[in-house]
Structure 1
Amino acid sequence: MKQILTFFVIGLLINGCQTGTPKSTDPQRGKPIRPNKPTTTFSRQPLALVIGNERYEHNPLNNPVNDATDMAHLLKKIGFKVTLKTDLKQRAMDKAIHEFGKRLSKNRGIGLFYYAGHGAQVMGQNYLLPIDNNRIQDETDLEYHAVYADKILKRMEDAKTTLNIIILDACRNNPYRGAARSMGRGLARMQSTSDSSGSIIAFATSTGGTSSDTSRNGRNGLYTSHLLKALENAYQTHQRLDDMFMQVRNAVKQESRRKRQVPWYSASLSKPFCFRGCKTVVTTVDKPPVEAPIPPTSPESMSYLSVTTTSRKTSPPEPGTLFRDRLQEGGEGPEMVWIPAGRFKMGNIRGSGESDELPVHEVSVAHFAMSRYEITFAEYDRFAQATRREKPDDKGWGRDNRPVINVTWHDAIAYTQWLSQQTGQQYRLPTEAEWEYAARAGTQTIYWWGNSIGAKRANCDGCGSQWDGQKTAPVGSFAANAFKLYDTSGNVGEWACSEYEEKYTGKEQRCVNNANSLVQRGGSWLDFSPRVRSAFRDSRKPTKRLEFVGFRIVRQVEK
């Protein structure tokens, strides 16, 4: 049977949680927008249903019709056959979604559903509100007078399309008369329950957060304004759709500093998707070898663990796939991303580094997963509480999503061992070679983004950020590299599991049980820009606790 790829993009946003005067002009409503000629190479012309509701009986909005109209025009440009509907009552919304499902069943290509307007959630169930919302007096009325969001997912799944994209640009307050204080704030996270081969779930802000209805362009909501720009860029540059949402996330965070709107998404994909085909990072890919388990940290011996040995027969997870492992005590571990196996040049490639970055040599790296972000205080504090360890000092800068600091190498090792026990998987610190390979992400430049430091690329002394030389930044405050990793340059220096040596002799490819001098990589908020280069190396005693040192982790391929 043909393998079905179901790919859900669920962008959840407060779209105009402010009242506004309805617009006097009205675009074409309910009329299909037909592209003159698709400009993409789809085997079947993709279909899109775009809905924007703003003329609500209770609490009208400002921008949903603009958002929907602009999205429809962009999708037409990309090559979709678009049906645009605006200001729909409940019966009209139900009919539009039903007819869209029937068209998808006949087409069985790519389907996209976009909605901008009010939304609400009760007990984890999400609802999209029609404009005749005066009938909704309490949460019980939602079931009868609003559109159940999961019904849209089911319609698209039942159509057996090859790709489903769902974007819900919905107000995250509960916008109807008599909304109860006990109701959940914002929309709940959604996911597919089908046997799809991949999914991506994106929120315009974190669960329970709020989003802005206004943006600098004055026409669209904050999230949609950046989504439109990023989607057009992704189409032009063959960018992966999940990377596009990463770009949107960073742009929204940057514009909303005062209100601190932080979009969120989670992906589980079996293959990348780009509107005009994906361009891959050029690396020499090796067959992934079997990796031995990490040794305990208690022995004082200097025996080494080789991270690469013989080859595996089973296929590794798709590079770029994001995941979180479940914890035995409940909840999830850090967000991880699978890194492809490959071969790269390690060390002072550009000739502008230090003597301990020599000799430049080629290293083969096996397939592994790495945490997308430096381990945060929230993640480490959970471990500390579970194991009754003292929580490290945050210097008054804040905990939560800031990188954990003031942890020793032994603390970091203990965290990976606890995580391994909680998940049944093999977690550890990265070898120095794995770290540099992941930080470079297929590049040979001084920094992963180029040969000059630029501005606002990282947090270091002279990097041009608001945190430079003062303190840590919340993780993910800057763009990610091509492997979807954040903050590999600056913010906090990161422990590796390898022993430091003044010249490369092979220890950079191995983990050590213990040593007098351990590798630290990446540079920090305290360092000048030359110390956040991809090749830069530093060393620390394993017992040191410093306000500029933290760590990230790796997970070996499941056996």
Structure 2
Amino acid sequence: MFTRFLFTLTFLMLTTMVEASTSLEVMKSEKRVAFVIGNAQYDFGNISKSTLSSRNMRDFLKEQNFEVIYLENAQKGDIVKSYRKFRNSIGRGDVVLIYFSGYVLSKNSINYLLPISSKIEKTNQLRERAVDLDFLITKASSSSPRMSIVVLDTYEISGLQGISTKDSEIASLSQYKSTDSYVGSTKNSAKNNGKFTHEFIYTYSIKGVSNIQGSSKLLRFVTHNNSDIFYFGLPNKLEKDYDIAWKQVQAEDTLLAYQAYLLTYPSSPYTKKANRKLNVKQKQSEDFLDKRAENHKSSDIQKEIDRLKHEQAELKRLQKEANRRRDLEMRQEAVKAKAESDEIKRLKAENARILSAQKSVKTAVPKPSSVKFLEPDLVKISVGTFMMGSDAIKASLPLHKVQILKSFSIAKNEITNREYKLFLHATGKKYRKKKLLKELDTPLTYVSWKDAMEYVEWLSEVSGKHYRLPSEAEWEYAARAGTSSTFSWGESLTTAPLYAWMEKNAHGFVRTHSLLQSNKFGLYDMFGNVSEWCVDDYSDGYRNAPTDGSANKLEDAMKVVRGGSWKSSVDELKSAYRNSNIPTFKNDATGFRIVLDD
């Protein structure tokens, strides 16, 4: 039925959001849920140890306080039905684990778990008859667990009847770029099936072994990419990353290891010890090299000399690389400053032309009664006074009082693909990322300031109302929602994932609107997910900005962008944080939200 087996062992840890401040008490009380599948009795080949491995994993996870949903020799319908139950049991902040032992096939970098009695004759039947692992992971992550873990102990199939050798060649198991991950694989004979599960359980059965420490012990299976700390068996107290790194350095005990540690952790509690060790190793290296002439005939000593030379050369390279990075950053800042100045001057005329064209040219639109359009859900914002800007952010100086003189209504959410598709259909305007529009309730991206202006003009015309982009003052007033704290939700960094999709929890893509908590005005995703265009021209600071809530008009080429996006750090989600770009700029993290004049 098949000509050869390729044994793939993968341990993949997907971190949704683990702050360094996560306490041991939180870890002790967090819920742990697992979905474990062991398939062995396939029509085209039996894996004798698969069910034994899955049972061992089930028992191990129960010992580690996981609630386990277990399947054995499962059909696709069984897996789908049980997975729904598993997904419904996941809550925000839980720890989630998916384990599979059995056959796997991959096509176009998508991994498919094979149920028993799959009867797959062509690779285009995978989506219909197999289970999409990537889909399972994505759906589990949408419940916002604290950490997700995937463990695969699988075969890759080659030469399956009805599939050509070319079709059955399997791509590497995907890196799951939407999350931080551990990914590893090896290829051995069929007799090794279950070996990875055995070593995995053995490694993590030891109390206090973190995922980072475990990955170093499972090195031939795991390649470390990036992840935070997690323990199957909790320690008496949590270790910091520099504690774990120090243990690894001590175990290696080489000049290069100590130097790399000091470059990474220049001010840890172990800095003095590392410096002393480094000095000792450097002295040993120098003493040994001084004796190279009298010992050059010894091949073993010559090898040691070569090794030490390599270490010293690598040390110099690391130091040189650190200096190069500092110089490069300084040059990039200088070039960026000059480029921005030149770009502003060059684009002033272009911006004036765009504004003039918008006034003189109107898109041909059918009568309002014949045009389909959607108006957003709105929140009425009353007049009021607030302190705009921040004395701690250079571009937001000075902190100043702004009085919103006119009430307005602002959209609860950013404009979505669903709303924008109606605009494209009505106007015939082209959009170069049509595949993205399939996610109807996802905020629109790849839209410029100019595109946003065209949209509000069209919606105003077909609805008979006056829609527009918010002024920067209106945007910050609505985003702060009556607060004066650093963030609209307060001063805490750890609660940011409850309100905003950002670099550490969005996992590389825009999320459906309204999944997280709103601000106090009932507005969703004011921070994170996608950045939002404002109507204002950008200036570096507020020294001459209006104080009545109106837009800042400077006839400048740069336009204001607020709110941060799924690519942003926590610092970029501060209420006063500002950004800017040219009016024709568009990317995968910038959209807009609209307001309606009362």
Q: Into which bin does the TM-score normalised by the smaller protein fall?
A: 0.3 to 0.5
Larger Rg, first or second structure (1 or 2): 2
**Greater helix percent: which structure?**
2
